[in-house]
């Protein structure tokens, strides 16, 4: 019967597996976009500046009046024309801002009567920046992760638009590979941190910013920069290896 195939030996089984994989890829899918929010009209250009510093390509911006601007960014240069790898950046919609404010008022955030859960959440984020919804970007090189983190460190200290608006945290690769271990020791970004990744053969760099709204209190968002060492195809970003 046309369209059917029965594998009778090992070679046939391999050919069948390849054919199935090609068919799956042909009808495959990719992550299209993520929508991020800034909190105030003044923070829109600052948040856009941060994304550009992190290597995003600004595709377009649409002014809505009152200083509110809708931005579109491409994560990679070759993605903007294909509708994938897109970040949309807009101001927090009023209904979302209203419910967030109601939550903050109910928990008495910023007052002497602040609910203990607020401090617990913030402490949790200090220890585990990927605890809540966040954006993860896979980088092509360790050097690019290091360059970006050093750039952002400088911006957080000196750029009038970004000064004090970022919290940077890094997880270096778990020990176990002599070459990777040596590279971590000499890194200007990862060398000093005592923190390690949860899995093997990769690094994580976290950029938390209050320029973007996120979490149940609407306070901040984390963008994570990742790199996997090509010497280990089965790394933490392919499957969990702890």
Residue ranges of domains in the chain? 125-242
Measured CA distances, 128 to 103, 194, 199 (Å): 23, 14, 14
Q: Which of 18-32, 94-108, 209-223 has the lowest mean pLDDT?
A: 18-32
> Residue 7: pLDDT above 50?
no
Task: Classify residue 237 by burial, with Cβ atoms within 10 Å: 0-12, 13-18, 19+.
Answer: middle
49 CB burial (10 A radius; 0-12, 13-18, 19+): middle
What number is the average pLDDT over the span 108-132?
95
CA pair distance 8, 101, nearest whole angstrom: 65
Model's pTM, two decimal places?
Answer: 0.85
Q: What are the tens digits of pLDDT across the range 39-90? A: 999 999 999 999 999 999 999 999 999 999 999 999 987 655 678 899 999 9
Task: Judge whether residue 4 has pLDDT over 80.
Answer: no
Q: Judging by DSSP bridges, how do beta strands 166-171 and 202-209 pair with one another?
A: antiparallel
- Mean pLDDT of all residues in the chain? 90
108 pLDDT higher than 80: yes
List the one residue out of 210, 234, 167 whose CA is nearest residue 47: 210
pLDDT digits (tens, 9 = 90+) for 195-223: 999 999 999 999 999 999 999 999 999 99
- The DSSP bridge partners found for residue 172 are 196
CA distance 162 to 151: 11
The confidence band for 1, taking pLDDT boundaries of 50, 70 and 90, is very low
């Amino acid at each position: 019967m046309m369209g059917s195939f029965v594998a009778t030996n090992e070679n046939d089984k391999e050919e069948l597996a390849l054919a199935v994989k090609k068919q799956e890829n042909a009808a495959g899918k990719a992550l299209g976009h993520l929508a991020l929010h800034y909190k105030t009209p003044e923070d829109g250009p600052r948040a856009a500046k941060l994304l550009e510093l992190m290597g995003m390509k600004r595709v377009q911006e649409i002014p809505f009046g009152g200083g509110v601007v809708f931005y579109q960014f491409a994560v990679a240069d070759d993605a903007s024309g294909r509708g994938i790898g897109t970040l949309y950046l807009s101001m927090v919609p009023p209904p979302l801002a209203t419910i967030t404010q109601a939550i903050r008022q109910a928990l008495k955030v910023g007052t002497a009567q602040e609910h203990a859960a607020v401090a617990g959440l913030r402490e949790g984020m200090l220890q585990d920046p990927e605890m809540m919804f966040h954006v993860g970007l896979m980088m092509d090189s360790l050097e690019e992760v290091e360059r970006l983190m050093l750039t952002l460190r400088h911006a957080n200290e000196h750029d009038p638009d970004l000064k004090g608006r970022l919290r940077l945290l890094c997880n270096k690769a778990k020990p176990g590979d002599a070459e990777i271990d040596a590279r971590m020791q000499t890194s200007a970004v990862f060398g000093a941190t005592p923190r390690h990744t949860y899995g093997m053969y990769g690094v994580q760099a976290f950029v938390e910013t209050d320029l973007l709204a996120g979490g149940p209190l609407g306070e901040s968002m984390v963008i994570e920069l990742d790199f996997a060492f090509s010497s280990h195809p089965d790394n933490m970003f392919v499957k969990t290896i702890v």
